[in-house]
Structure 1
């Protein structure tokens, strides 16, 4: 069986990691530095010097999907909530634009008011104090309004679909049959 990726369903992921990194701040010798962001954690923690921050920015660019060659990318279904405060919806829009510019099939679905984590089941634990996800919302509110953008010639038909798990299933059925 081939291990070739035939399609991708992507939900609210960071695609321009460098734009999510906070600005460099000098390390506080008293040890009262703010908590690191998930993006900083991905790249080894808070930068310890301006030089380290420059390296971290370059690593972020290197790890970002929008800076990768998309010439052979499979079809994508990208879903993001317009109310996401952890990863702004512009991150998914940038990935969609990158794929379309590479001549690849992409569908971007922006769901009104949904926050981060709406694809998670309702019982997934939260990330910590004051960090709340929209767990289970796609299941609870399948008829929420959404807007969509599609690449030219995209065969994925959205007419009559809600932004829900059935949409995702139909996307996979189209590309995996």
Structure 2
């Protein structure tokens, strides 16, 4: 990661390789973004170069980001982690900083919310997670933290989702818990 006047930036050759990867994934998975054109996505990315850094971080942590929609109001394309399982580089995290600090021993390196903030993405809500599942089958062996409503979080809990038996399930856990098979999926508007 390099910085230029405070903005995170990736080297040109790495950016070129990432754009090739994103284009290939886009063309291979047209069902995720029917009616959208890669050239328009590329133009949007090129006009918002700071977002390329976040897309690279999504890719580097195993998220396999792809376009899943277009916000007509803002003119933004919506990227989401579309890896078959919860991104490998984002697993074994508790839910948030408060949960991380509450652990007395065996603390994970970071929390899901902190990592999402560092990457510059939003953690999916339960509704967004369920919408993603309409575009494919995700988390058949893993699970993903989702943005937890404040009333649940205030009581010490956090929620996560997965797909089993051809259904999407939502569960709860203590926010300080973490597992090798639980990570989180993110969303980035470009």
With the length of structure 1 as denominator, give the TM-score of the two structures.
Answer: 0.31
Instruction: Tell me which structure has the larger Cα radius of gyration.
Output: 1
Q: Which has the higher helix share?
A: 2
Q: Which has the higher strand share?
A: 2
With the length of structure 2 as denominator, give the TM-score of the two structures.
Answer: 0.29
